[in-house]
Chains A and B, each alone.
Chain A
Amino acid sequence: MQNSRISRNRRSLLLAAGASLAAPLAAHAQAGGEDIVLGGSIPMTGVFAFAGVGINAGIQDYLKIVNDAGGIKGRKIKYVPEDTGYKVDVSVAAFKKITSQNKVNLYYGDSTAFSKTINPELERNGNILMAGASFATELNDPKKYPNQFLVGPDYTEMFGILLRHIAKEKPGAKVAFVYSDSEFGRDPIDESEALAKKLGLNVAIKIMTPPGSVDVSTEVIKLRRAAPDYTIFHGYILAPIPEFINQGKQQGMTSKWMGTFWTMDSSTVMKMGEAGDGFMGVMPYRYYYDTSAKAPMLDKIRQMRPEYQSTAYIQGFLAAMLFVESAKRTLDAKKELTGKNLKAALNSIKDFDTGGLIGVPITIKGNSIPVGRVYKADMKAQRMVPASDWIQL
């Protein structure tokens, strides 16, 4: 008697457990299918955490907007991030973990080294479209990296935007390149030197510094002797740029100072203090506080997060937007979510309105979005203000 009660209890327990397991599945079936998974190797700790935290928030926020509006054809997008500490082996482990536990179609990677390392795995997997924090020129090759894209111009294209701006502002100007001795730093230098010549600019000097160098007094003397009209820094986040500018100004240099994406976040430039007044650089996106034109998506971001959001946040937000658009176009065409189809859908994007995140409609022909604008630091207003119109390459 007691046995039969136990077995009855066990049976009802099993039924209840079965029902509770089946309930979410039924809900999914009603909603229109399984979730689309966006995995992410995100550097939330380590040297790149300053960007990783923003990227993570940007992706989360855009997906919240999409999921709250019903997802893509009823399918929600599930975001599965893992911290990497900005280490390649940990990033790959995160990729393996996320792809082992989920059917992943979209992925955000944290570095150039990770993008290069994971590329054969992406090709073998065949179901994933990947973007990331890297703007390396090498990745801007659809043949070598068919399942990846850059969320903006590559570093050479960033230099291209700056050099075109210089050529327009001061034809025949003398330009200096100051860059770090790293893969990041050396990336655009050779090609940009050739472009400068083509644009009629004179590359007066190229100075390479050890990564993380602080004492740059000898380099500043060399720079002063070359007397450039414009000095472009690349391969740094902040140091040693303020040192260069401070010492250069003290020695009477009249150069205009410029930087590329990872230096150009408002909070980074503002750390330069007085020396940074007038500091210019290329930025593919509108700043959080830029209200110079209509930007409904920025309005939404400001509504969701009233405090300043970094350019890394906007990068993550836009990456998620392009992922979603690619998935939407692929599903609209009744195609399977494979890396190849997703990439083809991404490349079908023509004159796409990003809701004002980028000031002009974008077209993605290859692996990059070669658009940007030159912004200038206004230290009094503690803001970056536009110094050029949007430049499309």
Chain B
Amino acid sequence: MRIGTLKESYIADAALFDSRTQKVWLAIAAALLLLFPFMASDYWLYLACLVSINVASATGLNILTGYTGLVSLGQAAFMGLGAYTVAILQINVGSPFLLNILAGGFVAMLGGLIVGIPSLRVKGLYLAIATIAASFIAHFLFANLKFTGGTGGLALPPASLFGLVLDTSFRLYWVIVPVTVLMLLGAANLFRTRVGRAFIAIRDRDISAEVLGIPLLRYKLLSFGLSSFYAGVAGGLWAYFFRVVTPESFPLLMSIFFLAAIIVGGMGTILGGILGAVFMTMVPELLKLVFDLLPNSTSLTVYLSPVRTIIFGLLIIGFLVFEPHGLAEVWRRIRRFFHLWPFRN
């Protein structure tokens, strides 16, 4: 049982990792992440990279929607902006890939700042529609500009780091996962600063936030910018991971996927973005593995596949009904149980 953690200063209270237990678990998680590529097959490494990219993008959307309260359905378009920037730079300029990814993030950020302008006037569903419009404009530009390769898109060569070609999931893992971890740390730290607290104040009541001296336009745009920066970087990683970028790579459905991820995971928590992205990416795959255990699963695939899709849908509905605060809350409850055990359960 853990009775409590003694905090002697404000800095200690605001620390990201506040107990030894937490630090030990994080060290174990870091060690597992380091060991994972040496133990996993190509399939699991692929999924780990895909989950990482999705976690990065979902965290970006969580900053905007979960923390600032601005609903966006443009996350996939911002990822597209990042992916296309990376592809164009890699093909035409050949600049270092980390620089390309950063550039992807900044171009997406610029896109986010423009799309965010209506957010001062419109909120909720209205803003969501405005961001959908932005994603249609992005799709039109990707499909019709000459340097984006038209509807056929762009195929880019693999990234290379110090002469090492990053063309396998194993090699990309060492770039994608650390970048995602850095982004997660950045997001977690953001909410220990004035900016992060301003976002939360805007989400809770924007008029009150303005009365408190928070310039709404600046902070709303900043939130859009940061969120789309995350999407742009995730899109850049996506481009190096799949190496083919087309206008159809970033459909509206992808934005809905990220929105669903943060809702299922838990809006307004960093852990929620992580758990949501992991859930949305991994559960369909895990269901496949479970179904594979059934006898004659290969010949029955055609019947089992729709059943699997229905189960996945039911799981999402189940989470929304029974735990509206998302998986992060489930996780917190499990932690609380062990903290208080054996006195209360």
Contacts and interface: CB of A to CB of B under 8 A. Distances in A.
A116 B151 CA distance: 13
B243 interface: yes
Contacts of A138: 152
B242 A44 contact: no
Contact of A100 (B42, B167, B244, B309): B42
A88 B242 contact: yes
B19 interface: no
A100 B41 contact: yes
B138 interface: no
B176 to A, nearest CB: 14
A183 B301 contact: no
Contacts of B169: 96
A81 B46 contact: no
B25 to A, nearest CB: 29
Contacts of A57: 302
Interface in B271-291: 284-285, 288
B42 A90 contact: no
B43 A80 contact: no
Given A81-B298, A83-B301, A183-B246, A93 B285 contact: yes
B234 to A, nearest CB: 13
B243 A183 contact: no
B155 A45 contact: no
Contacts of A56: 301-302
Nearest to B288: A82
A120 B158 contact: yes
A92 B42 CA distance: 11
A141 interface: no
Interface string A67-111: 000000000000111110100111011001101110000000000
A100 B152 CA distance: 30
B151 A183 contact: yes
A182 B151 contact: yes
B42 A45 contact: no
A96 B242 contact: no
A139 to B, nearest CB: 11
A363 B298 CA distance: 33
B42 A120 contact: no
Given A44-B301, A81-B301, A83-B305, A92 B46 contact: yes
B306 interface: yes
A45 B305 contact: yes
Contacts of B168: 124
A92 B169 CA distance: 12
B46 A113 contact: no
A99 B158 CA distance: 21
Contacts, number: 80
A117 B301 contact: no
A83 B298 contact: no
A117 B46 contact: no
A117 to B, nearest CB: 5
Given A44-B305, A45-B309, A113-B248, A92 B242 contact: yes
Nearest to B291: A83
Contacts of B153: 183
Interface in B217-262: 242-244, 246-249
B128 interface: no
A88 B308 CA distance: 18
Interface residues of A, number: 34
A387 interface: no
B92 interface: no
Task: Tell me if B's interface is mostly helix, strand, loop or mixed.
Answer: helix
A354 interface: no
A328 interface: no
A386 to B, nearest CB: 31
Nearest to A92: B46
Interface string B156-194: 001000000001110000000000000000000000000
B306 A44 contact: yes
Contacts of A186: 150-151
Given A100-B41, A120-B167, A93 B301 contact: no
A97 B167 contact: no
B47 A182 contact: no
A199 interface: no
A120 B240 CA distance: 12
B64 interface: no
A290 interface: no
Interface in A167-189: 181-183, 185-186
B5 interface: no
A385 interface: no
B86 interface: no
A152 to B, nearest CB: 20
A60 interface: yes
A185 B151 CA distance: 9
A380 to B, nearest CB: 33
A237 interface: no
A176 B216 CA distance: 53
Contacts of B305: 44-45, 83
B50 interface: yes
A292 B155 CA distance: 45
A45 B306 contact: yes
Given A96-B42, A183-B151, A113 B246 contact: yes
A53 interface: yes
Nearest to B144: A181
Interface in A112-158: 113, 116-117, 120, 124, 138
B299 interface: yes
A80 B150 contact: no
Contact of B43 (A53, A81, A96): A96
A182 B305 CA distance: 27
B143 interface: yes
A83 B42 contact: no
14 contacts: A56-B302, A60-B299, A83-B301, A85-B309, A90-B284, A92-B46, A93-B47, A96-B43, A100-B41, A113-B246, A113-B249, A117-B244, A182-B151, A182-B248
Given A45-B305, A83-B308, A89-B50, 6 more contacts: A83-B301, A89-B242, A96-B43, A100-B41, A113-B246, A182-B151
